Structure 1
């Protein structure tokens, strides 16, 4: 596997081989790639921000944001742009 090239031409067999790796082997390979291209002592942390909580007009049965269900979520207005 060439670690220096971003690929978009993965074959199904290659993807399945990655998915079949034991978790620790997959973690090791990911860490090896990270160390090759980034400072190994730094990790980017991202977080999700709900720009609107509750009172959504959509009726998605799996989502606690929908106004159609009682989820005990306190509705909040849509965040302003740029926040």
Structure 2
């Protein structure tokens, strides 16, 4: 029952070319199969609380205050 992983665009092309609502229906079927009818989908949101002011040393991140990422520092939430 194990399938080989999809690795190339050619492997993924049939999925990519399906209509959106067909993909949504297939995802609903997979969800129902593994988690049942009653289990909902858990949503998660990220909230920036210190844009451009983080003290961590992550050069790739727009939150970092140590690198010029072009993001204007601003507080979005009061403490």
TM class, shorter-chain normalised?
0.5 to 0.7
State the partner residue of 1:47: 45
TM-score relative to the length of structure 2: 0.57
Tell me the matched-pair count: 66
Q: Match of 2:59? A: none
Q: 1:75 to 1:48 in 2, by over 3 A?
A: closer
Q: 2:14 aligns with which of 17, 28, 42?
A: 17
Q: Alpha carbons of 1:30 and 1:75: their partners in 2 closer, same or farther (altered >3 Å)?
A: closer
- 1:32 equivalent in alignment to 2:29: yes
Pair 1:60-2:58 in alignment: no
Determine the structure 1 residue equivalent to 2:75: 74
Structure 2 equivalent of residue 70 of structure 1: none
In the TM superposition, residue 8 of structure 1 has moved relative to its aligned partner by 7.0
RMSD (Å) for aligned C-alpha atoms: 3.1
Runs (4 or more) in structure 1 with deviation over 4 Å come to none
